[in-house]
Amino acid sequence: MHRINDYRDIIGDERVSQLYQKAKSLYGKHILHLNSTYQGGGVAEMLMALVPLFNDIGIEAGWRILHGNPDFFVVTKKIHNALQGENITLTEAEKTLYIQTNEAFATYTHLDHDCVIIHDPQPMPLINFFHKRQPWVWRCHIDLSNPNRNTWEFLEQFVLRYDEAIVSNEKYATQMPIHHNIIFPAIDPMSSKNNDMSDAVVTKELNKYEIPRDKPIVCQISRFDKWKDPIGVIEVFKMIKKKVDCRLVLCGSMASDDPEGLEIYDTVRKNAKALIDSGDVILTTSESNTLVNALQRASAVIIQKSLREGFGLTVSEALWKGTPVLASNVGGIPLQIQDGVNGYLLDPTDFKGYADKAIELLENPKRAKEMGERGIEHVRQHFLITRVLSNYLDLLNNIFYPHSLNFS
Ligand code: UDP
């Protein structure tokens, strides 16, 4: 487990000292984070890094995971899709299953913490089933800019009971009926996904998964999810391949709270069968931080062709490796990509634009390298997990000491 001190070389003494200062008034506070999966996706990724740092700095932080059966996760994925704008109407039976699963979980867990932080919609109704003795915060990681109205109205009954909300982008707060805070997500530079890796280890790691480096690699790392548009990436790849000989890797592990993953994976596999058979496209579903790290370093270009994206941690992860990123101008992606500086922002429907920019970078490795290197500093300044910790410390100070002056 990493400690705050381990980050000194990356963020500098001054920022480390600020973290310790902000934590002083919070020593001994007992905080709970609760979400619905321990692996797969950005939420688990961040909690894995954040919770130990809370503990190291003197705040007792725990992480619990809501249990649910597969039908529950089908409903919560529908809610997720509806919040991202899909036209979905939940049936009464689905609403009941959603609420009852939360009620059942509440009967065998106790919450006597000083503050409860609930991540995303899956555990949101829990707030109805406890005597509320502490502030509750709803941390929403989803792109809420254009939610399906019916679903949002159904969820608002729960949101209203919370004391504070956190969203990943100001654009997502327009619907929020309670006080909101903005916390941009961030990556952990010390984790095995993001720490240094020599080129020899990169090759060794890719060999384990039978990913050759004989041709330039174009890669998207994302759950198999329609919002990540894996089929669109394959279409773009076909256009690139006409000009530059390269290989596409789609790397997508399965999240336990995402029941659509296998179905989308199968669709992609069928769609790209000939390219997979010829070795031009490689699909992998392995869950491995070191594989992600190696792929982000080995790739000539990383693509993130999302149609919607709450934030898109994969973008900062790739930039941190000095690899240029072509990504859609949606959700939190434009916060991370400075168009033409450390990558390119594209319209997700502009397949030709994606292909042209990829070809440009594949044909100009020097330019690609320069762009990639500019990404590292941008991530260091804005998207490292220590900044998220700092944002949480500010929020907790404001919650517990609302009338004191905040010097942060
Ligand atoms: N991820 C992974 N293995 C994979 C695909 C994704 O470890 O095969 C990780 C990825 O590195 C990132 C997270 O899952 O840390 C995805 O977060 P992001 O914000 O990009 O998207 P989300 O899945 O939360 O929509």
| Residue closest to 55 by CA, chosen among 13, 92, 86, 27 | 27
State the pLDDT at residue 363. 98
State the pLDDT at residue 38. 87
Q: Which atom of ligand 1 is nearest to the CA of 289?
A: 7
For residue 385 and ligand 1, the question of a CB distance below 6 A is answered with no
Task: State the fold for domain 4-186+384-400.
Answer: Rossmann fold (3.40.50)
- Residue 155 Cα to ligand 1 midpoint, Å, equals 26
Distance CA 225, CA 40 (A): 12
Please give the C-alpha separations between residue 144 and each of 155, 185, 285, 291, 395, in angstroms, as whole numbers: 12, 15, 28, 31, 21
State the pLDDT at residue 255. 77
- Residue 39 Cα to ligand 1 midpoint, Å, equals 9
Tell me the three-class secondary structure of the chain, residue by residue: CCCHHHHHHHHCHHHHHHHHHHHHHHCCCEEEEEECCCCCCHHHHHHHHHHHHHHHCCCEEEEEECCCCHHHHHHHHHHHHHHCCCCCCCCHHHHHHHHHHHHHHHHCCCCCCCEEEEECCCCHHHHHHCCCCCCEEEECCCCCCCCCHHHHHHHHHHHCCCCEEEECCHHHHCCCCCCEEECCCCECCCCCCCCCCCHHHHHHHHHHCCCCCCCCEEEEECCCCHHHCHHHHHHHHHHHHCCCCCEEEEECCCCCCCCCHHHHHHHHHHHCHHHHHCCCEEEECCCCHHHHHHHHHHCCEEEECCCCCCCCHHHHHHHHCCCCEEEECCCCHHHHCCECCCEEEECCCCHHHHHHHHHHHHHCHHHHHHHHHHHHHHHHHHCEHHHHHHHHHHHHHHHHCCCCCCCC
For residue 115 and ligand 1, the question of a CB distance below 6 A is answered with no
In the block, tokens 């692996």 appear at: 39
Pairing of strands 325-328, 343-346: parallel
State the pLDDT at residue 408. 45
State the pLDDT at residue 405. 56
Q: Which atom of ligand 1 is nearest to the CA of 45?
A: 15
Distance CA 265, CA 143 (A): 23
Which residues are CB-contacts of 104 (< 8 A; sequence separation ≥ 6)? none
User: Does 4-186+384-400 match 199-382 in CATH topology?
Assistant: yes
For residue 313 and ligand 1, the question of a CB distance below 6 A is answered with yes
Identify any residues that bridge with 326 across adjacent strands, giving them in sequence order: 303, 344
> CB of 264 within 8 A of CB of 230?
yes
- Residue 75 Cα to ligand 1 midpoint, Å, equals 21
Distance CA 156, CA 128 (A): 12
Residue spans of the domains in the chain: they are 4-186+384-400, 199-382
State the pLDDT at residue 195. 97
User: 120's torsion region: left (phi>0), alpha (psi -120 to 50) or beta?
Assistant: left
Tens of pLDDT along the chain (408 residues) come to 889 999 999 999 999 999 999 999 999 999 999 999 988 788 999 999 999 999 999 999 999 999 999 999 999 999 999 999 999 999 999 999 999 999 999 998 999 999 999 999 999 999 999 999 999 999 999 999 999 999 999 999 999 999 999 999 999 999 899 999 999 999 999 999 999 999 999 999 999 999 999 999 999 999 999 999 999 999 999 999 999 999 999 999 887 778 889 999 999 999 999 999 999 999 999 989 999 999 999 999 999 999 999 899 999 999 999 999 999 999 999 999 999 999 999 999 999 999 999 999 999 999 999 999 999 999 999 999 999 999 999 999 999 999 775 544
Tokens of 68: 């649910």
- Residue 361 Cα to ligand 1 midpoint, Å, equals 24
Q: CA torsion sign, 254 to 257 to 259 to 264? A: negative
Decide if domain 199-382 falls under CATH 3.60.15.10.
Answer: no
Tokens of 117: 């932080």
For residue 187 and ligand 1, the question of a CB distance below 6 A is answered with no
